[in-house]
Amino acid sequence: MKTIKNIFLLTAVAGLILSCGNNNGGKSGAMASSNAEKVYVAPGEHDEYYAFMSGGYSGNVTVYGLPSGRMFKEIPVFSQFPTSGYGYSEETKPMFNTSFGFVPWGDAHHPDISQTNGELDGRWLFINENNTPRIARISLATFETEEIIEIPHSAGNHASSFVTENTEYIVAGTRFAVPNPQRDMPISEMKGEFKGPLTFIAIDDSGHMKIDFQLNMPGFNYDLAHPGRNKSHGWFFFTSYNTEEANTLLEVNASQNDKDYIVAVNWQKLAEFVANGGGKKVPATYAHNVYDEKTHTATSTMMEGVTSIDPREVEGAVYYIPIPKSPHGCDVDPSGEYIIGSGKLSTDLSIYSFTKIQEAIANKDYEGDAYGIPVLNYENTLAGVVTQAGLGPLHTEFDGRGNAYTTFFISSEVVKWKLETWEVVDRQPTYYSVGHLMIPGGNSRTPDAKYLVAMNKITKDRYLPTGPELEHSAQLYDITGDKMELLYDFPTHGEPHYAAGIAASKIKDNVKKYYDLEENNHPYVAKSESETKVVRNGNEVHVYMTMIRSHFSPDNIEGIKVGDKVYFHITNLEQDFDVPHGFSMIGANTSELLIMPGQTKTSIWEPKREGVWPFYCTDFCSALHQEMQGYVRVSAKNSDTELKWSLDDE
C-alpha cells in the first residue's frame, strides 16, 4: 500500500515538473487546466454564445458555439449546397438569379446581426457577397436564407453589409471602381471616369430589403464601413483606398498617396432628400429574390431603376476625411464618439472625434476638396493616434469598458489599447496573420465582452496537416481580465472574414423546430397520403409524393417514359423536431433533397433509359430507414404503359 502511495506521489511530482517545464509562458499547469475548463462545455450543455462566421469563398455562413468552438451548421447562402438541395431544388434555384443569370457561387464577407436601439436583437443576420454584388438576409428563427438582393452599378461589394442601429439601412459599397453606367471604354482612361457608388438599402419591419438610393461617389475603392451609433447615429463612415485611381499594379500604384480618405455620410439627410423627391432615377437592372417560408419557395423579381444621388447636390451630407496609408477597417466605438481608421500600411491608428468632425463641418474647416466633395482638416478632426501599435492594423472591436482591440495582420497580433488615453495595454500573438476579430456585440452600443475571436488568414502548422489546402484557424481569448488570455484554437470552415456573435439566450428560444404542415402553401404539397398522385401533362410528369417514417407514398410508379421530365414534389409529413427525410433518384442530374418536417421540395429527373429505377431516403431517419425506398418503371418513349402509382398495392 505504501509503495503505491509513493508511486502516486512520484507521478504527481513528475507531472508538476513536466507541466511547468512545458509552459514557456511562465504559467503553472493549474492555470492551463483552468483554460481548458473555460472552454469546456459539458456533454448536453449549451454554449453561451452563437458565432456566425462568414465562409468567404465558400459563399456560406457557418454557425459555431462559443466558448467551445463547436460547429453546429453551415447555412447555405450564396453557394449551391448539394447537401440540402439548396440551389438545386426547383424552389431554391431562384435565389441564385442575378442580372447576369444563374450564379452558383459567391464570396461571403461580413455578417451583421440586426439591431434595435443599438443592441443586437437576434432577428436576422445579413451578409454581403463581394463578387456579384449582393446582400442576403438569413432568418435567425429558421437559420435559412430568406432574401437576396443584387446591388447594381457596384463591383466588389466589400464595404457591406453593416446595419444601422435600428436596422433602418444596410449598406453596400464599391471596392472596384467601375464606369457607372457600365460602358465600353479604355481601362487606362479610368481616372475621373469611374465611380464608386455607395448603396443604401432600406429594411422594413419584416426584414425585406429595398434599394432606397445610391450615392454616386468618385471612383475610389470603398473598402469597409460602419454606421455611427449612439451620438453619431444618422451617419455612416467608409474607408477608401486607391484615391490615386490607379488601374494597374495597384499594390504599388495605389500605395503612393500619403493619405486616402474616410467618407462621412449623413444618411439621414440623404434619406430625407430622397423622401422629398430628390435624386435622379437612373436605369438599373437587378434581381430581388425572396424565399417564402409558407410556400417553401423562392421567387426572383427583376427590378428596374434606382435613385442616384450626386454627393455634391446635398449640402452638408458627404465629407472626406484624410487618413494615412490605404486604410482598411473603419470602426465606431460604442459611444459613437470615436471613429477608428486603420491605415493598413501604417504602424499607427488614427482615431477621429465625431464632435470634432461636426465642429469642422460647422466651421467649414476644409483642407480642400476631391471632385467637389469637401475634405475636412485632418489635424482638427483627429481625437488621437495610437502610435507604433504594431504592423498592418486592420480591424477594431470594443468591450464597452473603455478598451479597444485591434488586429495587426503583418505583426500577427491582437493589441488592446485604451480609448481616450490611446495607450497600448496588452498584446497577444495570433496564429497566424489575423484578419478580422469579433467580440459578441463588439460593433454595437452594448458589447457582451467576455470573449474575443481572432480569425486568421494563415494556418500552417496549427493542426494535423491535411495536404496543401487547409481550413483557416481561429483563436479564442478571454478578455475579462487586464490581459487577454489565449484559451483555445479551432479550425473554421472556408475563409471567415468577419463574424457576428450574440448571446445564445437572444436566439435559442425563438428557433423553429419544424414547419407546420397546416401552414404549408406549396402549390404541389400533399398534406396526407390520400392527397398523393401522379399527373401527366405532355412529357411533364408531376409526382405529388409524401414521406414519413419509413416509406414514400407512392413508392411504386409506372408509366414514366424515356424523355419525360419528372418533377418529384416531396412533402415530409413528419411534425416532430429533427426528423428530416432525404430523397435521391438514380441517374438524376441534380443533388439530393433534404426535406425538413412539414416542408415540400422539388427535384427534377429526366430518365434516359428504360428499366426499373430505384429511389431512396438519404437521411438515416429511423430503424427502418434502409427500407425507405421505391421504384419507378421507365418505358420506351412510345410505349402505352398505363400511368399508375401505389403504396402497398393500394
Partner 1 sequence: MKSASILMIVGSALLLGLFIFPLWNIVLEAPQYPDGIGMNIHIDGLQGRDKHDLQNIDGLNHYIGMRKLPKANEMWEFSTFPLVIGGMAALGILIGILGFFKVLNYKWFLAWLILMTVLGILGMYDFNAWMVDYGTNLDPKAIMKMTDADGNPLSYKPPLFGTKDILNFRAHSYPSLGAYLMGLGMFLTFVAFWLGKKKTT
Each residue 458-487 as x (binds partner 1 by CB under 8 A) or -, in order, gives: ------------------------------
State which residue, 91 or 574, has the beta carbon closest to partner 1: 574
State which residue, 35 or 622, has the beta carbon closest to partner 1: 622
Instruction: State in angstroms the smallest separation of the CB of 556 from partner 1.
Output: 18
Q: Looking at the DSSP assignment, which residues form a beta bridge with residue 324? A: 259
With CA atoms as reference, report the closest residue to 394 among 434, 337, 446: 434
State which residue, 559 or 597, has the beta carbon closest to partner 1: 597
Report in angstroms the alpha-carbon separations of 541 from 544, 559, 638.
Answer: 10, 10, 15
Each residue 358-377 as x (binds partner 1 by CB under 8 A) or -, in order, gives: --------------------
State which residue, 549 or 565, has the beta carbon closest to partner 1: 549
- Which residues between 516 and 535 bind partner 1 (CB under 8 A)? 516
Instruction: State in angstroms the smallest separation of the CB of 528 from partner 1.
Output: 11
State which residue, 307 or 599, has the beta carbon closest to partner 1: 599
State which residue, 413 or 574, has the beta carbon closest to partner 1: 574
Instruction: State in angstroms the smallest separation of the CB of 549 from partner 1.
Output: 6
- Virtual torsion, Cα 560, 561, 562, 567, nearest 10 deg: -40
- Which residues between 302 and 341 bind partner 1 (CB under 8 A)? none
Q: Please state at what angle helix 2-22 crosses helix 29-39, rounded to 10 degrees.
A: 80
Instruction: State in angstroms the smallest separation of the CB of 577 from partner 1.
Output: 8
Residues in CB range of 400: below 8 A, 6 or more apart: 334, 446, 447, 449
292 is a site residue for partner 1 (CB under 8 A):
no
Instruction: State in angstroms the smallest separation of the CB of 648 from partner 1.
Output: 10
With CA atoms as reference, report the closest residue to 136 among 295, 288, 308: 288
DSSP three-state, residue 357? helix
Cβ count within 10 A of residue 183: 8
548 is a site residue for partner 1 (CB under 8 A):
yes
CA distance 145 to 150: 14
Instruction: State in angstroms the smallest separation of the CB of 527 from partner 1.
Output: 12
Instruction: State in angstroms the smallest separation of the CB of 627 from partner 1.
Output: 9
Q: Of 312, 427, 542, 549, which lies in the binding site for partner 1, with binding defined by CB under 8 A?
A: 549
Residues in CB range of 159: below 8 A, 6 or more apart: 171, 172, 173, 174, 175, 198, 222, 223, 224, 225, 238, 239
Got the DSSP string for 424-442?
A: EEEEEE-SS-EEEEE-TTT
Instruction: State in angstroms the smallest separation of the CB of 584 from partner 1.
Output: 23
State which residue, 280 or 513, has the beta carbon closest to partner 1: 513
With CA atoms as reference, report the closest residue to 118 among 158, 76, 148, 163: 163
State which residue, 292 or 516, has the beta carbon closest to partner 1: 516
Residues in CB range of 353: below 8 A, 6 or more apart: 337, 338, 381, 382, 383
Report in angstroms the alpha-carbon separations of 80 from 77, 88, 102, 145, 592.
Answer: 8, 7, 11, 12, 12
Instruction: State in angstroms the smallest separation of the CB of 576 from partner 1.
Output: 5
State which residue, 322 or 582, has the beta carbon closest to partner 1: 582
Three-state secondary structure of 258-276: CEEEEEEEEHHHHHHHHHC
CA distance 187 to 185: 6
CA atoms within 13 A of residue 321's CA, in its CB half-sphere: 30
Instruction: State in angstroms the smallest separation of the CB of 290 from partner 1.
Output: 28
Instruction: State in angstroms the smallest separation of the CB of 585 from partner 1.
Output: 25
Residues in CB range of 240: below 8 A, 6 or more apart: 196, 220, 221, 222, 223, 260, 261, 262, 263, 327
State which residue, 76 or 580, has the beta carbon closest to partner 1: 580
C-alpha 366, offset from chain centre: 37
- Which residues between 148 and 207 bind partner 1 (CB under 8 A)? none
Instruction: State in angstroms the smallest separation of the CB of 512 from partner 1.
Output: 13
Total residues found in the chain within this entry = 650
Q: Of 13, 20, 302, 624, which lies in the binding site for partner 1, with binding defined by CB under 8 A?
A: 624
State which residue, 111 or 580, has the beta carbon closest to partner 1: 580
- Which residues between 267 and 286 bind partner 1 (CB under 8 A)? none
The label of the residue with cell 468552438 reads 69
C-alpha 445, offset from chain centre: 21
Q: Are 118 and 162 in contact (CB under 8 A)?
A: no
Instruction: State in angstroms the smallest separation of the CB of 547 from partner 1.
Output: 12
State which residue, 310 or 516, has the beta carbon closest to partner 1: 516
Instruction: State in angstroms the smallest separation of the CB of 603 from partner 1.
Output: 24
How many residues in the shown chain lie near partner 1 by CB under 8 A? 8
Got the DSSP string for 285-352?
A: EEEEEEEETTTTEEEEEEEEEEEEE-TTSSTTSEEEEEEESSEEEEEE-TTS-EEEEEETTSS-EEEE
Instruction: State in angstroms the smallest separation of the CB of 632 from partner 1.
Output: 24
- How do strand 581-585 and strand 280-292 relate by DSSP bridges? unpaired
Got the DSSP string for 103-160?
A: -----B---EEEEETTEEEEEEEEEEETTTTEEEEEETTT-SEEEEEE-TT-SS--S-
- Which residues between 567 and 596 bind partner 1 (CB under 8 A)? 574-576
State which residue, 172 or 517, has the beta carbon closest to partner 1: 517
623 is a site residue for partner 1 (CB under 8 A):
yes
- Which residues between 421 and 450 bind partner 1 (CB under 8 A)? none
State which residue, 70 or 513, has the beta carbon closest to partner 1: 513
646 is a site residue for partner 1 (CB under 8 A):
no
CA distance 64 to 499: 10
511 is a site residue for partner 1 (CB under 8 A):
no
CA distance 524 to 601: 9
State which residue, 414 or 517, has the beta carbon closest to partner 1: 517
**Which residues form the interface with partner 1 (CB under 8 A)?**
516, 548-549, 574-576, 623-624
